[in-house]
Amino acid sequence: MPDENKSSDAKANLDSARAHAQEAAGAAKAHLKEAVDHTKEHLKHAADDLRAAAEAKARELKGAAESKAREFRATAEAKAQEFRGKAEQFRGEAGARVRTLQEDGEEYIRANPLKAVCCALGAGFLLGLMFRR
């Protein structure tokens, strides 16, 4: 019977060890699940923080870009106004020169009608010859 007692003690020890192992495995599994859940929550908060920081930076960059665009637009409008003023000035000067040349031409024709008619006939003759060919 001592072998039977040893056998039953060994079996009881084995069952007890198996129960402890299952209990330890269950506890480890519960701790692991809790750690995974905690890690997931931590990662979720970190992702939310990163998203918020990225959105804030995007707003900041958008504001800076809009500011630069307004600055460039103002500069371009100033340059366009400057060029428009210069163009109007040149147009005015050219119109004055044309009027002066026209007045000078009319004055010359009134002072020298015979020369003007002869020059016009000669120029017409030359142009006629040139266009014939």
Q: Over the stretch 93-123, which tens digit does the pLDDT of each residue have?
A: 999 999 999 999 899 889 999 988 999 999 9
What's the pLDDT score for residue 1?
Answer: 53
Tell me the domain boundaries of the chain.
2-132
Cα atoms found within 13 Å of the Cα of residue 29, Cβ hemisphere only: 6
Global pTM value: 0.46
SS3 1: coil
pLDDT in 10s for each residue of the chain, 133 residues: 566 666 777 788 888 888 888 998 899 999 999 999 999 999 999 999 999 999 999 999 999 999 999 999 999 999 999 999 999 999 999 999 999 999 998 998 899 999 889 999 999 999 999 998 7
Distance CA 39, CA 43 (A): 6
Q: Judge whether 116 and 107 are in contact, CB under 8 Å.
A: no
